[in-house]
Amino acid sequence: MRLLVATCAVEYQGRLGARLAPATRLILFKADGSIAVHSDSKAYKPLNWMNPPCVIEDTGDEIVARTPKGETLRIELHDVVLDTTVPLGDDPGLEKDGVEAELQQLLAARVQALREDLTLVRREYPTDIGPVDLLCCDGEGRTVVVEVKRVGEIAGVEQLLRYQERLDRDPRFAPTTGMLVAPVIKPQARVFAQSRGVTCVEIDLDALRGGPDPALTLF
């Protein structure tokens, strides 16, 4: 991973236009070809970014990332404070906590608990940004991407949308629909999910473990 700290101005052109005035920021270049611009706020979320596949050109004074869709992220470097590369090596991947892992396993065996017309295509379906918890198909042949969480939060919705974006590139799956499943889904996450067409399902883990009809709340 390359870490670049610099005073820079950033301009994005694509589905919309956006510009960041000059300020000192952290720019991350990952081995998967992605680039992300961070400030010292906003928690984990970058101010702007470009996902692979994209082509990155670095002239020393300017960094330009372009996607096949015609999107452009242009970073003007005014003053470089730090420029270093750190090899991170292979990552073993995210291990879900006990609740998430158990929920995923139980739901894989009983996806009809989420919706009667669902059938499981594959559990832990691999993508270049991580595995989809449950890849399912509904009664009309549409692909349903299911993300399982212990607590449904905005970050979980964003993760699900990223998986959908990846699978929508494949004509075998596109267009996908998303489903966020958790024992508890926070109100802000539910509102955000609904605005993006994602179905939210709250499920009772104890009922799923032993009862014939797990208690579901559909939003």
CATH classification of the domain holding 196: 3.40.1350.10
pLDDT at position 191 is: 95
pLDDT digits (tens, 9 = 90+) for 156-173: 999 999 999 999 999 999
pLDDT at position 215 is: 54
pLDDT digits (tens, 9 = 90+) for 28-82: 999 888 999 999 987 778 999 998 889 999 999 999 999 988 999 999 999 999 9
Question: How many distinct structural domains can be found in the chain?
Answer: 2
Q: What is the DSSP string of 139-157?
A: TTS-EEEEEE-SEE-HHHH
- Token code pair at residue 94: 């995210």
Q: What predicted TM-score, i.e. pTM, was given to this entire model? A: 0.58
pLDDT at position 55 is: 93
- Residue 57 lies inside a defined structural domain of this protein: yes
The residue from 34, 57, 85 where one domain ends is 85
- Residue 90 lies inside a defined structural domain of this protein: no
Q: Which residues pair with 11 in a beta bridge?
A: 19, 74
The residue from 39, 56, 85 where one domain ends is 85
- Residue 92 lies inside a defined structural domain of this protein: no
The residue from 85, 108, 133 where one domain ends is 85
Are residues 211 and 135 part of one domain? yes
- State the residue range of the domain holding 152: 98-218
The answer to whether residue 8 scores a pLDDT higher than 90 is yes
pLDDT at position 74 is: 97
Are residues 147 and 168 part of one domain? yes
- Token code pair at residue 172: 């075998």
From 167, 160, 87, select the one nearest 126 (Cα to Cα): 167
**Domain harbouring 76, CATH code:** 2.70.180.20
Are residues 102 and 81 part of one domain? no
The answer to whether residue 123 scores a pLDDT higher than 90 is yes
Q: What are phi and psi of 125, to 5 degrees?
A: -70, 125
